[in-house]
Structure 1
């Protein structure tokens, strides 16, 4: 299943969510109306006035309940308007600083950065729940630009690097496939329908304590307990529907995310090993934080021992056997004994040159049914099957390994600059500086006027290293710097965006890599500043964006082709892919194509997901028309996919 089919699943989940939420609201309103009518609906009023009184009572009760539910839901969603970081901090997550020295946290950051580079997304904010000993994690946010990934301390203590990598890849699938926005909405709706239970406890137990023990207040105190108990019982309806909604929306998505993790890493051992350790460690994947039920639907594993009705994830052994069909439950005993014996212990740091951590003794191999040869033969087959069911537009294993190599080969001075806000600012400016010496004096004046001499000096110091940077490392470096850039004040970020455009706009013939960098960074910063304003699913169809698609394909064809003839062939292949059977006139690339390309990309972002799939397929046809995929084409495709909020498709060097 690819990204666009996954979007259809998200829309289906949204419809299920709306239907179940509506049923929950109806059930709660009916229950409250019945309870209030039973208690207050038969007063001393007689005659026609009784009917009027009862109708008004039910009307006011219904409106009051609806106001509480929707008011609480909107309040909760608004409280999470800052995106993923707000969700992580709400469950006591602690931000991991970019320049962290702790080896476990450094390994976590390295793994997340590698997956972000491979998937073509900015590095998310990284959080740890230091008090949670269970193995769990989640991704939250409205878009990739404001995403946060949060892991428990149990992940750091128990998992090897490969296992941690599998968990992080699982969470990135939620980032890429649009699950996060639905998750935040679900948090708000659950808060609304569960609010009456909280109100009931407060009203019944705290409210009644305000009355003394005098005979005059005895009736009021009893009434307080009765009302409180009634609202608690009614609140249990909301709790029931809340758990049911979580299970209905989350379970299938979690199974698909497991398959996506296999495609990221091209091996099942990592995520399967993490699931096995959840099965054997005493804490499992359980959480202790008070509001754990709010985030249960977005976690890597179950936060509570729910029964099968309310479980937000498939059974643990079922998840393991999808990845490793030969695995048997009794083999968990061998793993548990190995862990207790200290082999690989509860401190699963793996060897890695970049992580700078000592080697740890690995677990002895488990005995597979049929012997080692059978196991060796089955592993690749299972990996292929799992990958086939995963989103095909997610970066393949080759991209993942390449991302790690790209990150490790970056100059240490540039990586250090990407870690802190002010130096990341200077780095972004240095990356935008022209290779042409005659243009730099004017660019330097722009920087000095906008930020002062200190930032200009810091930028100059980085330019030398930046000029030797391969093209394939420029945008990954921006992805690494993004968490630090987000920490800058809003006004400084606006000045950065304006200055970058001015620097690049000095040269009428803007170099493509400079355009790509500025476009990507500007879009990331805009969405991070206002997470809830991130674009949602579009409504337009492909014929409505014909001119925009023609221009984008022309840019890809011209900059990817070796001559005019090859560019025309590539453009024609793309247009035939999008509009089969039609005739076309060659789209001449205008002199100042940059602002027109900006408008074209914004226009294409308003397409339906199925139409975006056609756009990506057309671009792939253009890129692969000459049988060679260049780094320029890859970077341009990365920018187009980011602008359309789609994952980067699989491309090989030789198509």
Structure 2
């Protein structure tokens, strides 16, 4: 899977969705006009009014549903009865789920999503919803928590993360809003039939006739809606299964989850059938019981055999008989498998990494097994106490501010005053305490994972508090009138992710710009990166700049000119560069990498810089850039991967 190609494919699917929707609307309008023609005869005025009225109902219905989903994936989770998973939960099932999601987030380079559990659902299922990684929600059923072991749960979560990363999640939530409109006429018919019983006899027949006609039209809308969902969704599920294998580098997890869906009576069905129908295209497994042309997922046995070619249908029958008397218990299976957390040490702060631009571009949004292992090691390297601080409601803001406190005491005093003026003495004091207690010896590779862990807590704060917090971050960064690239990128990353989470539908769009349309922006970004990496060597900085420009604009001559505003000149480049066509973003990532690695090596600090820039531009990178040989990872193998269930 290539992230940039998948983003381009998702944009094309958005166009395809519009075309299919237009054809569905046309079909419904034709059916309504045929009914009007039968009832009142060939009257052009009546036919035109019926057509316009139908289009208005469909359009208003879609706009209403799209508006209701504008806040992102959380309304979908709540609609299905989802319950948020607390950051400080001690429930072993919920703790294991949160650990898996946090590690996958760090491995893929995206913010930790909101995590929900569908407590009333015994079937094994899951979904991801939202417009972007900043407002994403990952929800799993209680059945998945109880029946799946950790490898299987990891496979399911990896499947959902592939939807987050490749643009399917954004398409899926738009599909919910658009399809609601073509179902509106049928909904109106059912409501009329339900409430029309009180009419007198002379009116009852007319009301029932109108309701039945509306329901007939609605059935056509249902037909088109199911066909569109099946056409858009089915092939994507097979790719998401393959992506989950690519992420986790093993097939046993996701294949085991699919086998349990087929072997348990509850399967993947959701109890809320009407809600399951609306979100069926978003689910890990078939949730509404649809089959044939209307199935949003490939046949279960086909998905299993794609992962385990030797598996046969009769084996599924044997599993059904076995689990009917003794259903599987996920936590007990974890113990039996002997999963142990890896203990790989983090690389030295001064260690140089050997990377190439194509290597980094290929890593965007494609965490491999070794990335997941390294993410696990990163999480394991964060003490329980510091993890609790990052996920505590009152401590998350001071912790992020503590990450930005300067090493010089006079600057820290000014930063302290800025915090006190906006958030109070207690927050300023706590930030200083956290810096002294935890952060002075913190490995630089743990700063962004810590911020990622704090993100779910931060975005639940009231909007005015978030505004004040972002103002405080800005003031702390500018307290010495000099802004380092790390300070700028961390502050910008926080602002982008928090503002997108507050109003996700407004900020996330598929880009269409080409590199030739943003020459000056490319020049500014690469000049800032080159200067920041070589502050005392202008000639070396120029060579780094030219290495990047050669990647993205090889036929253009744009002279090296470090901006006078330094890193703050980047304020003008984010929006144009974020609007690049997905495939152009691939070239952009290669160009930035070429500038940073022009001397053939990248420091740990520079690798973190690259990750923050890519994060702001919605090209998430795994936690470490250097790739191990296939099968290497942290040198721990499958048996000791990922079990944090007993860690906290």
Which digits, 9 at most, give the CA deviation of each residue in 1:475-517, with x for residues without a partner? 1111111111011111111111111111111223323322222
Which digits, 9 at most, give the CA deviation of each residue in 1:618-650, with x for residues without a partner? 122233433323222222222222222123278
Residue 585 of structure 1: aligned partner: 559
Aligned counterpart for 2:55 among listed residues 60, 66, 79: 66
Residue 178 of structure 1: aligned partner: 167
- State yes or no: 1:439 paired with 2:411: yes
- State yes or no: 1:111 paired with 2:100: yes
Residue 300 of structure 1: aligned partner: 284
Pair 1:602–1:632, CA change in 2 (3 A)? farther
Pair 1:559–1:127, CA change in 2 (3 A)? same
Residue 236 of structure 1: aligned partner: 219
Residue 314 of structure 1: aligned partner: 298
Structure having greater relative contact order (Cα 8 Å, sep ≥ 6): 2
What is the DSSP-based 3-state SS (H/G/I as helix, E as strand, rest coil) of the residue aligned with 1:528?
helix
**Paired residues for 1:106-505 under 5 Å:** 106-207=95-196, 209-211=197-199, 217-289=200-272, 290-340=274-324, 342=326, 345-349=327-331, 359-360=335-336, 393-464=365-436, 465-505=438-478
Q: C-alpha displacement at 1:134, in angstroms?
A: 0.9
Stretch deviating more after TM superposition (597-606 or 277-286): 597-606
Q: C-alpha displacement at 1:88, in angstroms?
A: 0.7
What is the DSSP-based 3-state SS (H/G/I as helix, E as strand, rest coil) of the residue aligned with 1:194?
helix
Aligned counterpart for 1:79 among listed residues 68, 93, 101: 68
- Give the whole-Å Cα distance in 2 for the aligned partners of 1:178 and 1:391: 16
- Give the whole-Å Cα distance in 1 for the aligned partners of 2:266 and 2:324: 14
- State yes or no: 1:640 paired with 2:629: no
Contact kept in structure 2, 1:418 and 1:481, CA below 8 Å:
yes
- Give the whole-Å Cα distance in 1 for the aligned partners of 2:66 and 2:621: 30
Residue 511 of structure 1: aligned partner: 484
TM-score (norm 2): 0.88
Stretch deviating more after TM superposition (112-121 or 197-206): 197-206
- Give the whole-Å Cα distance in 2 for the aligned partners of 1:403 and 1:555: 29
Q: C-alpha displacement at 1:156, in angstroms?
A: 0.3
- Give the whole-Å Cα distance in 2 for the aligned partners of 1:591 and 1:467: 32
- Give the whole-Å Cα distance in 1 for the aligned partners of 2:320 and 2:540: 60
Which digits, 9 at most, give the CA deviation of each residue in 1:372-403, with x for residues without a partner? xxxxxxxxxxxxxxxxxx98751222221111
TM-score (norm 1): 0.88
Q: C-alpha displacement at 1:98, in angstroms?
A: 1.1
Contact kept in structure 2, 1:395 and 1:647, CA below 8 Å:
no
Contact kept in structure 2, 1:124 and 1:147, CA below 8 Å:
yes
What is the DSSP-based 3-state SS (H/G/I as helix, E as strand, rest coil) of the residue aligned with 1:291?
helix
Contact kept in structure 2, 1:187 and 1:294, CA below 8 Å:
yes
- Give the whole-Å Cα distance in 2 for the aligned partners of 1:168 and 1:38: 52
- Give the whole-Å Cα distance in 2 for the aligned partners of 1:513 and 1:350: 44
Q: C-alpha displacement at 1:581, in angstroms?
A: 4.6
Q: C-alpha displacement at 1:611, in angstroms?
A: 1.4
**Paired residues for 1:37-52 under 5 Å:** 37-39=37-39, 41=40
Q: C-alpha displacement at 1:306, in angstroms?
A: 1.7
Contact kept in structure 1, 2:485 and 2:567, CA below 8 Å:
no
Stretch deviating more after TM superposition (282-291 or 318-327): 318-327
Structure 1 unaligned blocks of 5 or more: 43-50, 212-216, 352-357, 364-389
Residue 375 of structure 1: aligned partner: none
Pair 1:257–1:240, CA change in 2 (3 A)? same
- Give the whole-Å Cα distance in 2 for the aligned partners of 1:582 and 1:517: 32
Residue 529 of structure 2: aligned partner: 556
Q: C-alpha displacement at 1:280, in angstroms?
A: 0.8
What is the DSSP-based 3-state SS (H/G/I as helix, E as strand, rest coil) of the residue aligned with 1:359?
helix
Pair 1:487–1:392, CA change in 2 (3 A)? closer
Pair 1:203–1:501, CA change in 2 (3 A)? same
Stretch deviating more after TM superposition (332-341 or 77-86): 332-341
Q: RMSD over aligned Cα, in angstroms?
A: 2.3
- State yes or no: 1:529 paired with 2:502: yes
- Give the whole-Å Cα distance in 2 for the aligned partners of 1:562 and 1:82: 42
Contact kept in structure 2, 1:162 and 1:350, CA below 8 Å:
no
Residue 21 of structure 2: aligned partner: 21
- Give the whole-Å Cα distance in 1 for the aligned partners of 2:477 and 2:564: 15
Which digits, 9 at most, give the CA deviation of each residue in 1:495-547, with x for residues without a partner? 11111111111223323322222111111111111111123122321022122
Residue 540 of structure 1: aligned partner: 513
Contact kept in structure 2, 1:251 and 1:313, CA below 8 Å:
yes
- Give the whole-Å Cα distance in 1 for the aligned partners of 2:36 and 2:192: 15
- Give the whole-Å Cα distance in 1 for the aligned partners of 2:397 and 2:297: 42
Which digits, 9 at most, give the CA deviation of each residue in 1:420-479, with x for residues without a partner? 322111111111111222211110000111011121222222111122211111111111
What is the DSSP-based 3-state SS (H/G/I as helix, E as strand, rest coil) of the residue aligned with 1:346?
coil
- Give the whole-Å Cα distance in 1 for the aligned partners of 2:174 and 2:111: 23
What is the DSSP-based 3-state SS (H/G/I as helix, E as strand, rest coil) of the residue aligned with 1:646?
coil
What is the DSSP-based 3-state SS (H/G/I as helix, E as strand, rest coil) of the residue aligned with 1:94?
strand
Q: C-alpha displacement at 1:591, in angstroms?
A: 5.2
Structure 2 unaligned blocks of 5 or more: 340-361, 630-648
Contact kept in structure 1, 2:611 and 2:621, CA below 8 Å:
yes
- Give the whole-Å Cα distance in 1 for the aligned partners of 2:465 and 2:424: 12
Contact kept in structure 2, 1:264 and 1:395, CA below 8 Å:
yes
Q: C-alpha displacement at 1:653, in angstroms?
A: 6.8
- Give the whole-Å Cα distance in 1 for the aligned partners of 2:255 and 2:7: 26
Pair 1:594–1:10, CA change in 2 (3 A)? same
What is the DSSP-based 3-state SS (H/G/I as helix, E as strand, rest coil) of the residue aligned with 2:209?
helix
Greater C-alpha radius of gyration: 1
